[in-house]
Amino acid sequence: MTNAIANLSVNGKQVEAKLGERLLEAAERAGISLHCDCGTCVCESSRVTVISGNVEANGTRLKSTVLACKATVAGDAEIMLPASSGLQSLKGHVSALRKVSDDLYELRLSFTKPISWRPGQYYHVEFRGHERINLSASFSLDAGTEFNTLIFLIEEATTPDLFAMLVKKGDVKGRVGITGPYGSSFLGHDDERLIMVAGPNSLAPIWAIALSSVMGQPRREKVLILDRSLEDAKFQQVFNWLKRRGLLPVFADLQSGTAEANLKNLLPDLTEFDMAYVAGSRSFIAGLESVFVDAQATYARIPQFQPWEAAVGANADAVTLEPAE
Ligand code: FES
């Protein structure tokens, strides 16, 4: 870092920043909190839009956005943060637990205060005596929801410890703490065609986005592409609900060596005027990324990760695509 000073505008607020300083620190000095979660380029919570000026993306650029936990000030610049909900730390309790299938539970947590989140975001959830986990907020599989309630889909494959606890104590009524919401890849109000892609064990955030867009953006063109592993009877309620409202899920092999080609075939007319959300493991997302980057579509990642993954080889595994603008 040098001592040279640049002028940074963060959501319209002016702040002086040193060249080489991370955008994150500069934004915080401007009094704007970014709700960073991982600090290691995993969670996507610190993605900001560079409106103009000089920013060193350090391998995190996606179209006009960068990760503020890694990108640094390279000159005068104007950046914009997504209009997210404020962070909340709340204590609540398990109000309902429904077994959907042998490997899937629907968990409802209730709170005394209203909960505000956007489809695509996730929470830190901590049960007494258990390690903190990240869970994507979602809707019930029958599309119902309740005031002051958070709904999570608990799958054995992604959260085996929590799943085992729920199976063991079928009537768990314990206290639970949450902090969030995190993540910047949430449903916006744009007019572009909306493309939603979900990988294995990653239906929850895409279901939340699909339901919200069907209800709130009825005229927006939508495409829903799901990995074939999700074509399972336990999700039939979801598919039926969407079909009744005109959104037909398309199932495809998105994991094998032909995944990219399969996705391209399903989106032959992809352009920079499309907005895509892709949910899945980091390797799943990275495997499909070039389809959207090549077409210059606007593209948001919803990574499925647990806190400990950030520490284990985050750098070795980090996706560092930096397409030209
Ligand atoms: S805090 Fe920057 S990606 Fe997680």
DSSP string, 11-53: TTEEEEEETT-BHHHHHHHTT-------SSSSS-TTEEEEEEE
Which of 15-19, 83-87, 167-171, 311-315 has the highest mean predicted lDDT (pLDDT)? 15-19
Same domain flag for 174 and 202: no
Residue 67 CA, closest ligand 1 atom number: 2
Q: Using the mean position of ligand 1's atoms as its centre, give its distance from the Cα of residue 47 in Å.
A: 7
* Domain assignment of residue 243, given as a range: 193-317
Query: What is the arithmetic mean of pLDDT over 214-240?
Result: 96
Ligand 1 contacts CB of residue 39 (under 6 A): yes
Rg of the chain, C-alpha, whole Å: 20
Does residue 323 lie within any of the structural domains?
no
Could you read off the pLDDT of 165-197 as tens digits, one per residue?
Answer: 888 765 566 789 999 999 988 888 778 999 999
Does residue 66 lie within any of the structural domains?
yes
Residue 46 CA, closest ligand 1 atom number: 2
DSSP β-bridge partners for residue 227: 252
Q: Which helix (H) or strand (E) holds 162?
A: helix 160-168
Q: Using the mean position of ligand 1's atoms as its centre, give its distance from the Cα of residue 105 in Å.
A: 29
- Report yes or no: 226 and 236 within 8 Å, Cβ to Cβ: no
Strands 175-182 and 193-198: unpaired
Same domain flag for 94 and 76: no
Query: What is the arithmetic mean of pLDDT over 148-162?
Result: 92
Please determine, for residue 207, whether its predicted confidence score (pLDDT) is greater than 50: yes
Return the SS3 of 8: strand
Share of the chain above pLDDT 70, in %: 91
Output 92 or 2, whichever has higher pLDDT.
Answer: 92
Please determine, for residue 3, whether its predicted confidence score (pLDDT) is greater than 80: no
Provide the pLDDT for residue 24. 93
Ligand 1 contacts CB of residue 43 (under 6 A): yes
Same domain flag for 12 and 108: no
Q: Using the mean position of ligand 1's atoms as its centre, give its distance from the Cα of residue 39 in Å.
A: 5
Dihedral (C-alpha) 230, 130, 95, 155: value to the nearest 10 degrees?
Answer: 10
Q: Using the mean position of ligand 1's atoms as its centre, give its distance from the Cα of residue 132 in Å.
A: 17
Query: What is the arithmetic mean of pLDDT over 125-137?
Result: 89
Could you read off the pLDDT of 49-68 as tens digits, one per residue?
Answer: 999 999 999 999 998 999 99
Residue 39 CA, closest ligand 1 atom number: 1
Strands 193-198 and 274-280: parallel
Ligand 1 contacts CB of residue 44 (under 6 A): yes
Does residue 247 lie within any of the structural domains?
yes
Provide the pLDDT for residue 129. 78
Residue 60 CA, closest ligand 1 atom number: 3
Confidence class for position 30, pLDDT limits 50, 70, 90: confident
Does residue 325 lie within any of the structural domains?
no
Residue 68 CA, closest ligand 1 atom number: 2
> What is the total count of domains within the chain?
3
> Which of 21, 47, 80 is where one domain is finished?
80
Same domain flag for 63 and 99: no
Flag the least confident range among 108-122, 277-291, 309-323: 309-323
Q: Which of 249, 237, 242 shows the shortest CA–CA distance to 142?
A: 237
Q: Using the mean position of ligand 1's atoms as its centre, give its distance from the Cα of residue 38 in Å.
A: 5
Distance CA 280, CA 284 (A): 6
Q: Which of 9, 21, 17 shows the shortest CA–CA distance to 79?
A: 9
Please determine, for residue 279, whether its predicted confidence score (pLDDT) is greater than 80: yes
Q: Give me the interface pTM, i.e. the ipTM.
A: 0.99
Q: Using the mean position of ligand 1's atoms as its centre, give its distance from the Cα of residue 86 in Å.
A: 16
Same domain flag for 269 and 224: yes
Distance CA 183, CA 162 (A): 22
> Which of 134, 160, 182 is where one domain is finished?
182
Same domain flag for 223 and 313: yes
